[in-house]
């Protein structure tokens, strides 16, 4: 009897980090994040930093647009930004998404010109 071998990698997922930044133009901010190259992916946390704290009523809205249609869309987060300069959204259970689901980040910045950076951390199944 002889053994034959096959390398089975222990880790069957890849971590990812997506970055976006805006130069602070007056108007609306909208950014979309979709399939990082896998069948299933999860978001662990969302991090945002602004150059100055907001001194006006602005709302950050994070929605999931489902591949299954609008009946399956849902709100991930809605945050009032008045007085906020740093925002960290950590999920106790990462949000599971299908391959063609899209996460949309949107915010009106009509009353505050503000530079900011956005980081989304998560992982995606290989293949």
Residue 126 confidence (pLDDT): 75
Contact (Cβ atoms closer than 8 angstroms) between residue 13 and residue 86:
no
| Residue-averaged pLDDT of the chain | 83
Task: Quickly state the pLDDT bin for 4 (edges 50, 70, 90).
Answer: low
Can you give the pTM of this predicted structure? 0.80
Under CATH, what is the fold of the domain 20-118? Jelly Rolls (2.60.120)
Residue ranges covered by each domain of the chain: 20-118
Q: What is the pLDDT of residue 44?
A: 94
- The residues near 74 (Cβ < 8 Å, ≥ 6 apart) are 63, 64, 66
| Per-residue pLDDT, 87 | 93
Residue 6 sits at φ, ψ, to 5 deg, of -145, 130
Q: What is the pLDDT of residues 64-119, one digit of tens each?
A: 998 888 899 999 999 998 888 899 999 999 999 988 899 999 887 765 567 888 99
């Amino acid at each position: 009897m002889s053994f034959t071998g096959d390398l089975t990698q222990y880790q069957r997922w890849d971590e990812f980090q997506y970055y976006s930044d805006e130069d602070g133009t007056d108007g609306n901010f909208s950014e979309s994040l979709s399939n990082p190259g896998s069948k299933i992916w999860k978001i662990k946390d969302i991090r945002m930093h602004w150059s100055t704290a907001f001194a006006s009523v602005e709302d950050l809205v994070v929605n999931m647009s489902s591949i299954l249609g609008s009946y399956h869309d849902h709100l991930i987060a809605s945050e009032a930004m008045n007085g906020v300069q740093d925002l960290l959204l950590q999920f106790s259970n990462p949000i599971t998404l299908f391959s063609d689901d899209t996460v949309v980040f949107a915010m009106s910045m009509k009353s505050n010109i503000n530079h900011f950076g956005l980081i989304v951390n998560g992982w995606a199944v290989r293949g």
